[in-house]
Amino acid sequence: MKNLRNISTKTILLLGGMVFGLIGCSEDDETPDQGEVIVPSQSLKMDLTQFKREDGGVFMQAFYWDVEPIGGWYDQVASEVEEWANAGVNRIWLPSPSKGASGSFSMGYDPMDYFDVGEFSQRGDENVETRFGSRQELESLIQKSHANNIEVIADVVMGHNSGGGLQYNPYRDAEVFSLFNEENGNASGKFNRNFEHFHPNAIVDADEEALFFAETDLSHAVPYVQEWLWGRDDSVAEFYKSLGFDGWRFDYVKSFAPKWVKAWNDKVGGFSVGENFDGNQQVLKDWVDASGSPAFDFACFYRLDETLDRAQDLTALGDAGNMLRKLDPSNAVTFAANHDTEKDENPDNRISYGKKLLAYSYILTHDGYPTVFYLDYHAFKGQLNTLIEIYNTLAVGDVEVLVANKDEYIMKRGGSGDNPGLILYMNISQQTKQYTVKTNWANKTLVDYTDNSRATPTTNSEGTATIYAPAGSYSIWSITKE
């Protein structure tokens, strides 16, 4: 954990302070007239527990690339689930549990034996555990998560395979590593495979999907493959379910048709989400409609990366339909980082740490189902716990964009019943900003529930007030307690 602590310290230092305000233009001022200014205290804030949503909850990606310690990751996660549950997390996502071709170094994305989750010796390797631990440690983690009302989601890699034996493939007229049996990377003896189960084969010359690695991408058109992956009572899907998993994250769904995700879910049920690595919101929506499964909102991720980092202009956040969460919020799983983006050397494929909390302020106040990345949680725990609490309480009602310009983005959630909702104010300029907005609250004192602003503005009889946001930061406003 030494490296993790170093990362956390560095990223926290990169972030400086944070704060934020609609009618008329915004004002730039290093020290604006903030009206009645006091230091917000808990005595001003409502008790948010009274607004706890039954449909709330946040998704935690409970790993990062090349997690350490090797063989001890399940135990590490188990030590944290109670804290996450208390923070408002309701699901955790674990890496693919099956034994990979690189053994104890595998992150699970080179699946070899789907039925070996840390209990078989493979190809003479004396270490039977996966990089994450043993089967017993996995089952213990799942049980502890359930005891804390957290569901556990398995990463399902049902496209590409690795680590098989070399054999001649007549459909390719070449030798391919496609032989999986007890002697060749499949010690469990279940779901043995050969060249007939990959691309091409006797059933298909070529599939329409965008294959990841065609020679060893499973062909789901083959009935034998369907049966072993999800159809049989002792299939991979049923095996994962027997371990205690509650749902599925489908890896690289571009390499197989969405109907196969639907077939898996129809057989075993549970929450699911697909990794359709595409920034086009309509592509994501079409996949959701065809699969019947939610998808990670890569369109939202890329809009946030573009506006916060590349363009440094928040105007595009106000566009009507440039994210999956705008087209289909109930099926949009939003995120600010994941294991792939954080190891990508291309800065256009990740949100910089200096803008990370701004991105989280967006996804944890808007509709959609937000995901928190493990390393980000450790780097910004206090701020993220506050944002998670706000998401699970005040982030209700219709989303209305009030302002979207180069430096500012202001959004209002309309609330519901006794729940007053909120106003998010993001400011990426180098100066404190203020803006006069029309709220839903007449004659009310407001407070920033993130404590990034110290102002306590008061609305007039029409609900108008001036709100504030610090330089390079955000604020989230709602009414004070009566």
- Report the CATH number at residue 312: 3.20.20.80
Phi first, then psi: give them for residue 149, nearest 5 degrees. Answer: 60, 35
What is the model's pLDDT at position 251?
97
Which pLDDT does position 205 carry in this prediction? 72
The CA–CA distances, whole Å, from 236 to 16, 158, 245, 401 equal 47, 10, 12, 45
- Which tokens hold the place of 130? 């996966």
Q: What is the DSSP string of 10-53?
A: HHHHTT--------S--EE-SS---SSB----TTTB--GGGG--
| Residue 459 lies inside a defined structural domain of this protein | no
CA distance 262 to 422: 37
In this predicted structure, what is the pLDDT of residue 26? 53
Residue 120's domain comprises: 2-16+53-396
236 located within any domain: yes
| C-alpha dihedral, 101 to 107 to 113 to 119, nearest 10° | 110
Q: Is 21 contained in some domain?
A: no
- CA–CA separation, 393 vs 448, rounded Å? 15
Alpha carbon of 12 to those of 74, 106, 380: distances in Å? 26, 30, 7
pLDDT given for residue 4 in this prediction: 36
List the one residue out of 149, 15, 151, 91 whose CA is nearest residue 388. 91
Cα–Cα distance measured from residue 454 to residue 408, given in angstroms and rounded to the nearest whole number = 19
Number of H helices, E strands in the chain: 13, 20
What is the rounded CA–CA span in Å between residue 118 and residue 33? 62
CB 448 within 8 A of CB 455: yes
Enumerate the H helices of 244-280 as residue ranges. 258-268
Paired with 151 in beta bridges are: 91
Using CA atoms, how far residue 368 sits from 272, 359, 371, in Å, is: 14, 14, 10
Residues 277, 282, 287, 293, Cα dihedral to 10°: 90
Question: H/E element holding 151?
Answer: strand 151-156
Alpha-helical (H) ranges within 364-465 are 374-379, 381-391
CA-nearest of 359, 316, 358, 354 to 337 is: 359
Q: Which of 457, 463, 473, 385 is nearest to 424 (CA)?
A: 473
Sequence-separated (6 or more) residues with CB below 8 Å from residue 261: 250, 253, 272, 274, 291, 292, 293
| The pLDDT of residue 40 | 54
Say how many domains are in the chain. Answer: 1
- pLDDT, residue 39, reads 53
Edge-to-edge strand list for the sheet holding 422-427: 399-404, 408-413, 422-427, 473-479, 446-448
Task: Kindly state whether residue 23 falls inside one of the protein's structural domains.
Answer: no
Specify if 347 maps to a domain: yes
Residue 366 resides in a domain: yes
224 is a domain residue: yes
**Structural domain includes residue 402:** no
pLDDT of residue 41: 61
3-state secondary structure of 127: coil
Q: What pairs with residue 408 in β-bridges?
A: 427
Per-residue pLDDT of the chain (482 residues; tens, 9 = 90+): 333 333 333 333 333 333 333 344 455 544 444 444 555 566 899 999 999 999 999 999 999 999 999 999 999 999 999 999 999 999 999 999 999 999 899 999 999 999 999 999 998 877 899 999 999 999 999 999 999 999 999 999 999 999 999 999 999 999 999 999 999 999 999 999 999 999 999 998 766 566 788 889 999 999 999 999 999 999 999 999 999 999 999 999 999 999 999 999 999 999 999 999 999 999 999 999 999 999 999 999 999 999 999 999 999 999 989 999 999 999 999 999 999 999 988 888 899 999 999 999 999 999 999 999 999 999 999 999 999 999 999 999 999 999 999 999 999 999 999 999 999 999 999 999 999 999 999 999 999 999 999 999 999 999 999 999 999 999 999 999 98
Contact (CB, 8 A) for 403 and 457: no
Q: What is the DSSP letter of 244?
A: T
For residue 368, the SS3 value is: coil
